[in-house]
Amino acid sequence: MRAFNISDNGMFMRLLLTSSVFDGWDLIKAQVTMGCRFEIAGERQADFYEDEAEKTGYVGWAAVKPFVYEIIRGKKPPLQMLIVLRHPTCISSQTQDCMMNIQLQHGVIQVISGVSYKTFTLDKSDERTWDDTVEALLKEHKVPYEAFI
């Protein structure tokens, strides 16, 4: 797990909400606090879907992104925000989920990388690889940040 404090909130929010960079990722959950709290659970509701392949898993960020954008846009920034995205592929057969937590609190955006494993392991090489992958993504898109942890 590694944390990255984003130095340019506007740039990162445009990347998140108006570009296609994260469109292939799944949404685990989103919480946005403005005048009230909005919550979106990314888990698919099987009864809504007819196609068996769509009945399990999580919705894609691309499908939910316009709703989050509509909630956030305006003159005032959110008081708080939490968006948890899961990458569609993982590092190895040992890892179950490779995630990115995006938190906005007190005007600071923090991106936190995280990995969940299928079974307990002392080997943290997959976690370090995912941390490096998230950092490379930020660099690739020229997002200014300060790394922690």
pLDDT tens digits for 94-125?
788 999 999 999 999 999 999 988 888 888 88
Determine the pLDDT at residue 56.
Answer: 67
**Chain position carrying tokens 């370090």:** 128
According to the model, what pLDDT value does residue 51 have? 77
Give the pLDDT score at 46.
80
Instruction: Give CA–CA dist 113/75, Å, rounded.
Output: 30
> Which of 9-23, 25-39, 44-58, 91-105 is predicted with the least confidence, judged by mean pLDDT?
44-58
Residue 68: strand, helix, or coil? helix
Mean pLDDT score of the chain: 91
% of the chain beyond a pLDDT of 70: 96
Q: Which helix (H) or strand (E) holds 104?
A: strand 95-105
pLDDT digits (tens, 9 = 90+) for 40-61: 999 988 888 777 777 668 999 9
Model's pTM, two decimal places? 0.90
pLDDT at 22: 97
Residue 134: is its pLDDT beyond 70?
yes
- Please tell me the number of Cα atoms within 13 Å of 34 on its side-chain side: 13
Whether the pLDDT of residue 29 is over 70: the answer is yes
